[in-house]
Structure 1
């Protein structure tokens, strides 16, 4: 079994270290980031636990050929997955190749389990409950029995940390890769098949989330000359008040601050993926619409707790890797 334990002070290094996931994390709240990522791979199973002290928005694509379940261990603030409100009494479901957007509050703690979709579908068929459960799993957020969820979290964590203590496959004991994968698969199936779980639930995306996510995507399309908040309002044909309330509800931030943070994160990724000889700080800033370098540097320092000139570049990251 492959086991990896990491701690980070940069959200982009954290995001790129999650195996097989194509994703971008953006830090929204200011200050030094502190995060941990614990991963284990056993056969077709990938399980990881991530804890991040800052508010973050994740955007990307789930691994193809997989199905992913995420169980929140701690949700200390407003959180949204695929436009749905979430709390610690639900699970998240993503299919391979599915685009996702996840707004995480500060200090969120989450456990994610990814199975090979063929293995999962076979287990679903063998369970005799496939039709009902397949319909339920079309929902990205599934409310489940609080009692069963607590039991499932405890069992998954025992299996997970047991695998970290004894990572080598042991054919005579319960820590073999096949045993761990089978036990986790059984745990997830029992959770969603529980009689207390409403199999007909359907939680739609909120209008507030639609507005925020639409503006997020439009911003990425026009990163070099980002529209103003009013221009976004005009494009979406909604009032500025509606946009303000939407961002406060979904991101706990103002639209101006959120848009600035997404752009600053974009610059940070540019800096970290290039050397100083390839791209200057000024050119990286210009790619994301920052042309007043003194204001840009101050905003960058406020968000990341360091100046852009202090951010490790590609050649420096390779040396420390």
Structure 2
């Protein structure tokens, strides 16, 4: 099965990958424009996701999956900070409860295989990062992209159900051949910064209405202010003070989206997230999301979301909203 879906809000796109647990938060300014395209086969999924703005992504891959990832644009985007040194491709075997940042204009291709579909030596590997040879990765990625391109033009040559298993087997074979040529890498040192960053964001979400400062976070978390700032900067490339505001603005946005179904005042939501100066909140909100809080609440500037709340509808329900193109 092939599907392609477009999004105008991070909250919508976070539900687009089948079997993934994700939360997306916008961390760079501008209107949101995202797209997910996928081919779903028995035990095998080809996924391509593009996002116009920078995002923070908290995610877990489907349980028991192994992932080949590749950046078609070959730019500086990266899913997990610190993996840039591995180039534009690699394998991920334990993507559970992770946090990463994607740059504006990100473009990510993933091949997701369930462990029961792949060889025992791959299933038994406990590594977190595996570096794939770039040339061989490019060949595999170009082929996967050609399959997605054919599917998007509805010239998908394997649309018949009896070919799905054959294609899944061929893809799995190529996946395993590339994995055998790859090199297991040590977990990057940036993992320590990720742990500290997780503590920061968890504290913000546990008490969103508190006026958090770097000093108060340092006392609460038992981490020096220097380490808090350094970890946030190295992991996210965003200063800690700015990140604290970005996280609270995204929290307010989620509540505004939910308020489309359960009406609440914008000012109450702002206060829930520690914004006690209305005009400053509105100004910061509009600067980040390219719309006012009231427009978010009314759904005026988000064609993909204006018809529903902070919807967690899976991709197959998008057909009811006129945003889905695909065929089986």
TM range (shorter): 0.7 to 0.9
Number of the residue aligned with 1:149? 137
Specify which of 188, 191, 195 is matched with residue 204 of structure 1: 188
User: What are the within-5 Å matches in structure 2 for residues 1-321 of structure 1?
Assistant: 1=1, 3-74=2-73, 76-77=75-76, 79=78, 81=80, 84-86=82-84, 87-95=86-94, 98-120=96-118, 124-125=119-120, 130=121, 133-134=122-123, 137-164=125-152, 165-167=154-156, 169-170=159-160, 176-194=163-181, 197-199=182-184, 201-206=185-190, 207-225=192-210, 227-275=212-260, 277-312=262-297, 316-318=306-308, 321=321
Q: What is the TM-score normalised by the length of structure 2? A: 0.81
Unaligned runs of 5+ in 2: 300-304, 310-319, 322-328
The answer to which structure, 1 or 2, has the higher relative contact order (CA under 8 A, 6+ apart) is 2
CA contact (8 A) 1:78 1:251 kept: no
CA contact (8 A) 1:4 1:39 kept: yes
CA contact (8 A) 2:93 2:129 kept: no
Deviation at 1:234?
A: 2.9
Residue correspondences, number:
302
Q: What is the TM-score normalised by the length of structure 1? A: 0.83
- Residues 226, 99 of structure 1: CA spacing in aligned structure 2 closer, same or farther, 3 A cutoff? farther
- Residues 277, 143 of structure 1: CA spacing in aligned structure 2 closer, same or farther, 3 A cutoff? closer
Alpha-carbon distance in 2 for matches of 1:234, 1:75: 41
CA contact (8 A) 1:79 1:250 kept: no
Instruction: Supply the RMSD in Å over aligned alpha carbons.
Output: 2.7
CA contact (8 A) 1:78 1:105 kept: yes
Number of the residue aligned with 2:325? none
Unaligned runs of 5+ in 1: none
CA contact (8 A) 1:40 1:46 kept: yes
